[in-house]
Amino acid sequence: MPCATEEQRKIWRSLVTDMEQALRLRHHTPHTLARHADYLHQRTGGVVGSLSHLIREAALTSLLDGSEKITKKLLAGIQLDIRAEQQAHPPRKRLPRPRSHNAGS
């Protein structure tokens, strides 16, 4: 889901907010995920399935560690599917190496 326009960003934030409101974590601060909507878009490449996976994994991790809250640090530690990771960290284009001109050859 692209976020190039204000309308698209609004839709993305609404989606994040809806997912966050479904969480049932005792110590989670409301609107934490909504405040990190841009970060979540960057991490997931705007892929809704990847966003759902990220939030679900973070929620499960927070239940297992007893914190029952999702933080940006926790989100950063969750590994995503290959597609989302590639979109978040696209491979750098390699520049051609300059040719060496040996004077003696």
Looking at residue 4, its pLDDT comes to 76
- How confident is the model at residue 81, as a pLDDT? 79
- For the whole model, what pTM was predicted? 0.77
3-state secondary structure the chain: CCCCCHHHHHHHHHHHHHHHHCCCCCCCCCCHHHHCHHHHHHHHCCCHHHHHHHHHHHHHHHHHHCCCCCCHHHHHCCCCCHHHHHHHCCCCCCCCCCCCCCCCC
Domain ranges of the chain: 6-88
pLDDT in tens, 23-67: 999 999 999 999 999 999 999 999 999 999 999 999 999 999 999
> How many whole angstroms separate alpha carbon 52 and alpha carbon 47?
9
pLDDT value of residue 83: 72
